[in-house]
Amino acid sequence: MTKYINADDLYNQIHRDVTVYESAELGIKMDCLIAIKETPAAEDVIQVVRCKDCKFFVHAHEGSVHWCRGLGLHRLSDDYCSRGVRRKTDD
């Protein structure tokens, strides 16, 4: 299965670590940084909101039934759709 990552975050993490490594490892890290920058982005990839994190997702009957108020359908917590809107948290 393909794993999509945030290349900018990976680049920044490796870039921060470069100053810690010895010269042999530094060359390898620099090669990684170049490869990340030169690799084309995957096409047609979007972030999705899982139903369990969506503002339209509700639990009914003491959590035994999951319902989408936006679509009017029963959903599983790991489902998602193009209309998902991430629920705001009280952080």
Torsional sign, CA 71, 75, 81, 85: positive
Which pLDDT value is given to residue 54? 93
Starting from the edge strand earliest in sequence, which strands make up the sheet with 57-60, in order? 57-60, 65-68, 73-74
- Region 70-85 average pLDDT: 88
Instruction: Give me the mean pLDDT over the 47-53 stretch.
Output: 88
Q: Looking at residue 43, what is its pLDDT?
A: 78
Domain residue ranges of the chain, discontinuous segments joined by + = 7-38, 46-91
Q: What is the DSSP letter of 18?
A: G
> What are the pLDDT digits (tens) for 1-47?
567 778 888 888 887 776 665 666 777 888 888 898 888 877 777 78
- Orientation angle between helical segments 23-38 and 7-17, nearest 10 degrees: 160
- The per-residue pLDDT for 90 is 65
Rg over alpha carbons for the chain, rounded to the nearest Å, is 20
Burial of 75 (0-12, 13-18, 19+ CB in 10 A): buried
The single-letter DSSP state of residue 49 is -
pLDDT of residue 63: 67
pTM for the full predicted model:
0.54
